[in-house]
Amino acid sequence: MTAVQAPVSAARSAPEQTRARYPDAKGYVERDGVRLFWERYGDGDTTVLLLPTWSIVHSRHWKAQIPYLARHFRVLTFDGRGNGRSDRPAGAGAYDDEQYVADAVAVLDATSTREAVLIGLSRGGRWAVELAAARPERVLGAMLIDPAISFMAPLPQRQAFSFDEELDTTEGWAKFNRHYWRREYRDFLEFFASEAFSESHSTKQIEDFVGWGLETGPETLTLTQLGAQPASRSEMEATLGRVRCPVLVVHGEDDQVRLHAVGAAAAELTGGQLVTIEGGGHCPQARHPVQINLLIREFVESLGGMAR
Amino acid sequence: MTALLTTGREQTRARYPDEEGFAERDGVRLFWERYGDGEPTVLLPPTWEIVHARFWKAQIPYLARHTRVVTFDPRGNGRSDRPDGFEAYARREFAADALAVLDATGVDRAVVVSWCDMGESLLLAAEHPERVAGLVFIGPPMSDREPDQGHYPFDSDPGTDEGWAKETRGYWLRDWPGYLEFFFAMCFTEPHSTKQVEDCVGWAKDTDMETILAGFRGWETKIIPPAEVAALGRRVRCPVLVIHGTEDAQSEAWRGEELARLLGGRLVLLEGAGHAPHARDPVKVNGLVADFAGVAGNGTAPATRTWTRALRRPKRALYLSSPIGLGHARRDLAIARELRARVPGLEIDWLAQDPVTRVLEAEGERIHPASAWLANESTHIERESAEHDLHAFQAIRRMDEILVANFMVFHDVVREQPYDLWVGDEAWELDYFLHENPEEKRAAYVWLTDFVGWLPMPDGGEREAFLTADYNAEMIEHIARFPRLRDRAVFVGNPGDIVPDRFGPGLPAIRDWVEDHYDFAGYVTGFDPAGLGDREELRRDLGYRPDERVCVVTVGGSGVGGHLLRKVIAAYPEARRRVPGLRMVVVAGPRIDPASLPSADGLEVHPYVHGLYRHLAACDLAVVQGGLTTCMELTAARRPFLYFPLAHHFEQNFHVAHRLGRYNAGRRMEFATATPEVVADAIATEIGREVDYRPVETDGASRAAALIAELL
């Protein structure tokens, strides 16, 4: 497999803003020739792995969680292949779910982490489920935030546009189209971010999102989309049914990208708890960081049983 | 102060066990109780036999709402046996008893929460690690360094009776009650701990000195020795939490610090707290225990929850209306209506209990489902009352367990659901425990009351004067220290309604202090007399003929008034002879069974009557208790009435009577001296009389709502 090295100077509009906390350790793990960039913050007894999501953004999307969680737990992040400081391998096959799940295991191994609590947003929620089902001995618990799990509920009607074919409209979700991305990548990012942040007064979150999106490009993003071919409904349900660890699902009631019904179904099929964010969109970790931080902490502590 | 007010009668519990029984071990029977269900089990073992399982009363109702709780009485006290001999009271016996109780209750494994553990819980955890999931020590006296020896050898003669010299065999034999008072005063070094001391002394008196003496030869023989503490401590593997008050005068805080270190456990120091913080600071200790045991967090969270974005939330208020009597409910409904008119979209939830819920339900109000968890106050008040006699101050004091249990319900509700505003109308649990735990405030808070100041009844003597002053002083200190905790304090009335008394010796005059610390809403009647329309029409509506003389007899909602109803009913034949065509309408209220009252020709007995104020406005005379609401409704409606304050009820005897005097309203009667003839005579004299009462304002609810709405 040929991997493209991550660009040294990403096409971001401005230098990264000052972080509230910088990693205590960082490094690369290489798997099948693909280099993945990870960071570790804090050194508590329990490890929390903040999974990547769709590579339209990278690990900075957890910026509101890391400083808080790292004061209580050992926190790992990594940039998903296709964005940030991780490589951009060629070919859609390099971006299927199995690759991301294997990457997560590789990061656990590289950081000598025997087991971790998984936190995943959107596609990251799906990978958390797949990892928990496949490697239960490595997973203490899984928190799924606005998970993108196909077949659990229909996509919103207005998303029903072809990704592959040229369309005769560029309105709304018609922008979710590889040809449009090539032409108007930034406009697509802005559109998608505004759908992801359906809450009013979300300008900063949208800007962040677009900035991280610009650190990769339309070609790579197209591969991530083509690679993310869902399994069948029965396979997905079977995977959810295999999850044995405690599960907490958090889902925005107004999520315009993945309907709340997805999270509700995931909670039901895993026997997990469901927290609904009333008025919340697709990325509550960025828009409602305090509440998400508290939920994460509460969830992680609940797994340890008695607090020590 | 030497006289104690222990009545010897257990006060109403906030929760009664779901199961109880005896475990028998070597012929010794141990009485256990189980409350609630769920995992993990929390075992609350006894300390030594000086008290029994009731000293966990502030923990049981809260923990049992979340999980299974098991308690047992120690050998030597409560309902457990009193075996003979010093050896029978060794710590190893207590540890074995705990094991026997776990077996008897079918509990494999428990979180053990101990107070003043002298080694039994340590033994249990070290020798039976599979049975102990976690250990909490509150104020432990054990040490791996030096024994806790006491101040004088137990069998010595210190040559004085002062202080710890009381902890000697000689003094015990001379003045056992004196020792108990001293001993428990040393447990509660915090000011304003009279109730906790009384409770403990009372529990100590549930056994006898001979039993205690059989098992006691000085602390150095009671508590396991340092070498054993060290050896056992090394074997403890479970999580450990030690809670210790820095002002613990029984067991210095370093003992807890070192025990935590020895066991690798967490330590929480409670600064300023004494030896028994679970009794004196129950809200804090309940939270620590629940967090440690993991019983009130995520583990028991409902499967689905919702968190609403701040700007998406409707404005929401939680209203707590005192359930003692029905008066608060009526005025609170009126205030709530005015509040909604001023704050469009305001949603109000009521955390309330019977009988208030009946009024609220009739009005279609939204009652918070957690209301079902509230321990009932009216039942307690009824149990505390005798024949037309209710010692209101002691009744509220003896409600401390119910108050903390109900505060914990509130605490859970407001953690689950954010509110913009809390309103507490004489919600004592809310106001007291918020001031004791000010970090729990998470919304604007309004306190409403129609009287300020606990006042002693003359026959309570020096002791009651001391206690009421102590309660007032604590309240005054609370407000002085946390002046912003109550965002509004609303007095339901006017400055002239405030009694001319002081809070106590050396304390402010009540009226001065209230004027400095309260806003005045004027009286809140809960209805507009003008809205009743023409009285003749009203009488027609209610089925009262113009020519008949209608006397309405009512005792409010609390169920205490059965004796008054019977007395007035007994006066009915004579009254009817004196007042031709007299029609007597007796309203039993929601908590007195009408069938339990005698019947007579021309006498009607009704259960609860919705809209009773309309009957009061239509009648020619009312006979009532001395409760404020009903008396003021009659004052506002300008009807003549006889009122009988409950004996020993300081509020009815002083506060209400003072206010009615200012309105020149009603004729005060004494229950004890009122024979049926006296009652009949008063009825005949007063019925239909023209009155010259001071008018009652009709805008009280609106003024109160205006004060509250500013916070929304």
pTM as predicted: 0.85
Q: How far apart are CA B255 and CA B249, in angstroms?
A: 12
Instruction: Report chain B residues whose CB lies below 8 A from the CB of A267.
Output: 303-304
Q: For residue A278, what are the β-bridge partners? A: B308
* Percentage of chain B exceeding pLDDT 90: 85
Pairing of strands B444-449, B488-491: parallel
Instruction: Report chain A residues whose CB lies below 8 A from the CB of B312.
Output: 278-279
Confidence at residue B80, expressed as pLDDT on a 0 to 100 scale: 98
User: Is-contact A141 A47, C-beta < 8 A?
Assistant: no
Residue A88 sits at the chain B interface (C-beta within 8 Å): no
CA distance A229 to chain B (A): 30
pLDDT at B592 over 90: no
pLDDT tens-place string over residues B635-694? 999 999 999 999 999 999 999 999 999 999 999 999 999 999 999 999 999 999 999 999
- Tally C-beta pairs within 8 A across A and B: 65
A278:B309 CB<8 A: yes
pLDDT at B7 over 70: no
Q: Which residue is closest to A246 within chain B, CA to CA? A: B299
3-state secondary structure of B179: helix
Confidence at residue A157, expressed as pLDDT on a 0 to 100 scale: 76
Distance of CA B476 to the CA centre of its chain: 19
Cβ within 8 Å of residue B508, ≥6 positions away: B476, B502
pLDDT at B348 over 70: yes
B294:A288 CB<8 A: no
Q: Which residue is closest to B304 within chain A, CA to CA? A: A274
Single-letter code of the amino acid located at A189: L
For chain A, where are the alpha helices, taking DSSP H only? 66-70, 97-110, 123-134, 178-196, 203-213, 218-227, 233-242, 260-270, 284-287, 289-303
A166: Cα within 13 Å, side-chain hemisphere: 2
B306:A275 CB<8 A: yes
- DSSP assignment, residue A55? T
pLDDT tens-place string over residues B511-545? 999 999 999 999 998 877 778 888 889 999 999 99
B320: Cα within 13 Å, side-chain hemisphere: 27
Instruction: Report chain B residues whose CB lies below 8 A from the CB of A301.
Output: 297-298
3-state secondary structure of B70: strand
Instruction: Report chain B residues whose CB lies below 8 A from the CB of A274.
Output: 303-305
Single-letter code of the amino acid located at B712: L
A302:B292 CB<8 A: no
Q: Which helix or strand (DSSP H or E) is residue A215 part of? A: none
Q: Which of A248, A273, A288 sits opposite B309 (nearest CB)?
A: A288
User: Is-contact A253 A284, C-beta < 8 A?
Assistant: no
Burial B105-135 (b: 16+ CB within 10 A, else e): bebebbbbbbbbbbbbbbbbbbbeeebbbbb
Q: Indicate the range of A63-67, A122-126, B398-402, B553-557 predicted with least confidence.
A: B553-557
Confidence at residue A4, expressed as pLDDT on a 0 to 100 scale: 61
CA of A9: how far to CAs of A6, A16, A18, B380, in Å?
9, 11, 17, 74
- Residues of chain A predicted below pLDDT 50: 1, 8-12, 305-308
CA of B668: how far to CAs of B108, B450, B585, B600, B654, in Å?
63, 20, 20, 26, 12
Single-letter code of the amino acid located at B258: E
C-alpha angle B120/B125/B130, rounded to 5°?
140
The pLDDT of B338-366, averaged and rounded, is 95
Q: Is the ipTM of this complex over 0.85?
A: no
Q: Which of B301, B308, B312 sits opposite A273 (nearest CB)?
A: B301
Sheet of A247-252, strand order = A25-31, A34-41, A74-78, A47-50, A116-121, A139-145, A247-252, A273-278, B304-308
Residue A288 sits at the chain B interface (C-beta within 8 Å): yes
Burial B415-432 (b: 16+ CB within 10 A, else e): eebebbbbbbbbbbbbbb
Instruction: Report chain B residues whose CB lies below 8 A from the CB of A292.
Output: none
CA distance A277 to chain B (A): 5
Q: Which of B294, B301, B312 sits opposite A306 (nearest CB)?
A: B294
Q: How far apart are CA B479 and CA B482, in angstroms?
A: 5
Instruction: Report chain A residues whose CB lies below 8 A from the CB of B297.
Output: 298, 301-302
Instruction: Report chain B residues whose CB lies below 8 A from the CB of A277.
Output: 306-309
User: In degrees to the nearest 10, what's the CA dihedral of B137, B139, B140, B144?
Assistant: 110
The pLDDT of B337-356, averaged and rounded, is 96
Confidence at residue A231, expressed as pLDDT on a 0 to 100 scale: 82
Q: Which helix or strand (DSSP H or E) is residue B514 part of? A: helix B510-517
A273:B304 CB<8 A: yes
Provide the pLDDT confidence category of residue B557 given band limits of 50, 70 and 90: low
The residue among B243, B267, B298, B415 with the most chain A CBs within 10 A of its CB, best to mutate, is B298
Confidence at residue B353, expressed as pLDDT on a 0 to 100 scale: 93
Mean pLDDT, all residues of chain B: 94
- How many residues are listed for chain A in this entry? 308
pLDDT tens-place string over residues B12-22? 999 999 999 99
